[in-house]
């Protein structure tokens, strides 16, 4: 009989552990999350929107994963901060495209989305969360919510209905303001709808610290209402200017500023009557019973767990992201850019929190000035009085 050498105790234990590990059944780890890329202004002038859109993506991620993800695989939104800067947005877009993705969500500002759009002529699909860009029909780019043109048109009709015929305007010189001024010219034309007319026209640079001179001229013009259009921190300059010169008239502002946090921070210089042209998601109390009201209520309920009260930022991101997820569910996580694009472009009768979408009638956007016709049209939301107590109630 051959005698085997006696092993030291530590070697024997090591050998037994190795056998145990090798003999153990193999286990599978949880599936890695599928990443969906978003480019948002987390910092900078557009941070009010970027923060809220990030909140929306977090809620959508949680809701989707709780329901089993996509094909049983969880999703994860990877958010890059474009710092509210078009050049940074372009750099980030090129980096995401290099990863061979099929879709990009964002950005949130007109200037950033406009800079990104030429980069996706051949894909990936891009769903911009700003209403202020106007992608070519059939392109890979889409624009969220009701367009600036239709928001301004709704505002013109509203002012006319109140008998406010003499309108003053002030717009920023950036891409957001330029888009608004084109929309104003299209809506009012030479005479304006129902006898309205532009009697004062002013501009300001987004970096200006004061617009008192422009507001003084508008006040002297005899304007009965003011359209003051810019998004983000420049909007504070506009509102402060209204109050500083004692301009006591209704002020219509961009829906991009329809955020509770933003209005709360502006409480010290809130005009007496500040109005926003708002989509259905921002006006639950004004919606008629029906599928859109149900969708808006479900949307609001989805945020309750995180303690968030959604406003314009969340709704700008909600419908586009849910459409993208629907496309992935249809074709699987390997969906191509063209499959994502064609799925969204083919939607008709899709019920979202901002209305009923028809991309056949309104390419690249799906909803227009009459999207909420079931509830009497787009609503204008007001902050009420200038007091700090009411300034945050939209």
Q: Are 277 and 378 in contact (CB under 8 A)?
A: yes
Q: What is the pLDDT of residue 193?
A: 57
Q: What is the pLDDT of residue 380?
A: 53
In the chain, domain spans? 33-146+289-363, 148-278+378-382
Preceding amide of 107 cis, omega within 30: yes
Q: What is the pLDDT of residue 389?
A: 28
Q: Are 279 and 313 in contact (CB under 8 A)?
A: no
Q: What is the pLDDT of residue 382?
A: 59
Structural domain 148-278+378-382, CATH architecture:
3-Layer(aba) Sandwich (3.40)
Cα–Cα distance for residue pair 87/387, rounded to 1 Å: 39
Q: What is the pLDDT of residue 154?
A: 85
pTM of the model: 0.81
Q: Is the dihedral of CA 267, 273, 277, 283 positive or negative?
A: positive
| pLDDT lower than 70: segments of the chain | 1-30, 190-194, 370-394
The two counts, helices (H) then strands (E), for the chain are: 12, 13
Question: In this predicted model, what pLDDT tens digit does every residue of 145-183 receive, in sequence order?
Answer: 999 889 888 888 889 889 999 999 999 999 999 999 999
Tell me the pLDDT of the chain averaged across its residues. 86
Per CATH, 33-146+289-363 and 148-278+378-382 having the same topology is answered: yes
CATH 3.40.50.300, applies to 33-146+289-363:
no
Q: What is the pLDDT of residue 4?
A: 36
């Amino acid at each position: 009989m051959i005698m085997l050498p006696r092993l030291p105790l530590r070697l024997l234990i090591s050998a037994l552990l190795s056998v145990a590990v090798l003999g153990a059944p193999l286990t599978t780890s949880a599936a890695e999350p599928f990443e969906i890329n978003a480019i948002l202004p987390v910092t900078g002038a557009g941070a009010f929107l970027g923060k809220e859109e990030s909140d929306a993506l977090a809620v959508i991620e949680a809701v989707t994963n709780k329901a089993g993800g996509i094909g049983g695989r969880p999703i994860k939104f990877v958010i890059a901060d474009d710092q509210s800067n078009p050049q940074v947005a372009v750099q980030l877009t090129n980096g995401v495209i290099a990863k061979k993705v099929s879709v990009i969500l964002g950005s949130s500002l007109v200037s950033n989305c406009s800079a990104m759009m030429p980069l996706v002529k051949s894909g990936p699909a891009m769903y911009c969360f700003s209403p202020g860009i106007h992608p070519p029909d059939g392109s890979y780019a889409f624009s969220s919510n009701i367009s600036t043109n239709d928001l301004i048109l709704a505002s013109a009709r509203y002012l006319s209905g109140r008998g406010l015929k003499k309108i003053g305007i002030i717009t920023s010189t950036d891409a957001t303001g330029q888009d608004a001024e084109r929309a104003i010219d299209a809506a009012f034309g030479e005479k304006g709808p129902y006898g309205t007319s532009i009697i004062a026209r002013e501009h300001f640079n987004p970096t200006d610290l004061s617009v008192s001179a422009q507001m003084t001229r508008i006040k002297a013009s005899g304007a009965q209402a003011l359209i003051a259009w810019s998004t983000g921190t420049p909007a504070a300059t506009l509102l402060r200017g209204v109050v500083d010169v004692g301009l006591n008239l209704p002020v219509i502002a961009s829906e991009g500023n329809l955020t509770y946090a933003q209005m709360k921070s502006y409480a010290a210089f809130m005009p007496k009557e500040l109005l926003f042209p708002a989509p259905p998601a921002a006006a639950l109390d004004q919606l008629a019973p029906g599928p859109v009201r149900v969708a808006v209520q479900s949307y609001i309920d989805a945020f309750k767990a995180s303690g968030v009260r959604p406003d314009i930022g969340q709704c700008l991101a909600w419908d586009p992201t849910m459409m993208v997820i629907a496309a992935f569910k249809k074709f699987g996580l390997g969906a191509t850019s063209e499959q994502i694009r064609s799925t969204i472009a083919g939607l008709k009768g899709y019920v979202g929190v901002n209305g009923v979408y028809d991309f056949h009638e309104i390419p690249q956007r799906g909803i227009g000035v009459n999207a909420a016709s079931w509830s009497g049209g787009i609503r204008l939301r007001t902050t009420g009085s200038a007091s700090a107590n009411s300034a945050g109630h939209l």
